[in-house]
Structure 1
Amino acid sequence: MTPGQIPQKRMAIKNRKEYRRHRIKLRIRKVVSGTPEQPRLTVFRSNKQIYAQIINDLEGKTLVSASSRTPEVSGTPMAKIEQAKLVGQLIAKRAIEAGIQNVVFDRNGYLYHGRIKSLAEAAREGGLKF
């Protein structure tokens, strides 16, 4: 174990919810990986904001990104699920402009409901296939 690493047992006791999400995230990332032909659409959700990125894991580059902090989304006050829907539409629009149509969805350890589901469905309606 390198210095700075927290033993997993301590981490589980420290914050069980975060540790659970981390374990799910690692399980998903064993299978899901972005390639140039089919990059990875990953989602991060905080308490107030939601972020989406399309990543090529082979080169380690973010190809397209969108978030609820961009002026297109944050201009008017709305519910968080509506924000997620707008972010999904925005990421789909930017991906289509960049020539990306097929992606692999990485829910990043979050359950597929609420804001994550709203973003994914909006991205599908916007033209992304996953």
Structure 2
Amino acid sequence: MANTKRDLFLKRRLRVRNALRKTSNGRLRLSVHRSSKNISAQLIDDAKGVTVASASSLEKDLGVVGKNNVEAAAKIGATIAERAKKAGVETCYFDRGGFLFHGKIKALAEAAREGGLKF
């Protein structure tokens, strides 16, 4: 039985998230979602169940509305790092979900690291 792309994505997402939960030690989670048209990132406190900060290419003031490329991902990464600093967050762990750490996801992570987030 062949696995569909969706099944493989869901298996990869669970594998990544479960491995991260074991080593999280109460840190916040930087969760990334990429669609065909947009990219977004959220800083989530799983203990309280709240989103501390978020950034998305859907926000008009960022100037990347409807774009899903490496430049937009880097802008989102820098923005989430800036908003995390305002919220008083310096360390988190990077939850890439089922997405491969390459291309847009990698650009977002590098920009967040350059912005001061440690993961």
Aligned length: 117
1:91-125 CA distance string (max 9 Å, x none): 00000000000010000110001100000000000
- Aligned residues: percent identity? 44
TM-align CA RMSD:
2.1
Cα 1:76/1:53, change in 2 over 3 Å: closer
Q: Distance in 2 between matches of 1:30 and 1:75?
A: 32
Cα 1:31/1:78, change in 2 over 3 Å: closer
| Residue matched to 1:128 | 117
Structure 2 unaligned spans of 5+: none
Asked whether the equivalents of residues 92 and 123 of structure 1 are also in contact (C-alpha less than 8 Å), the reply is yes
1:35 positional shift: 6.2
| 1:20 aligns to 2:20 (yes or no) | no
Structure 1 unaligned spans of 5+: 1-8
4+ runs of 1 displaced by more than 4 Å? 75-79
Asked whether the equivalents of residues 42 and 105 of structure 1 are also in contact (C-alpha less than 8 Å), the reply is yes
TM-score normalised to structure 1 length? 0.81
Q: Distance in 2 between matches of 1:117 and 1:55?
A: 19
Kindly provide the amino acid, as one letter, of the partner of residue 17 in structure 1. K
Asked whether the equivalents of residues 37 and 67 of structure 2 are also in contact (C-alpha less than 8 Å), the reply is no
| Residue matched to 2:17 | 29
| 1:102 aligns to 2:91 (yes or no) | yes
Asked whether the equivalents of residues 29 and 45 of structure 2 are also in contact (C-alpha less than 8 Å), the reply is yes
Asked whether the equivalents of residues 45 and 51 of structure 2 are also in contact (C-alpha less than 8 Å), the reply is yes
| Residue matched to 1:93 | 82
Name the larger-Rg structure. Answer: 1
| Residue matched to 2:49 | 60
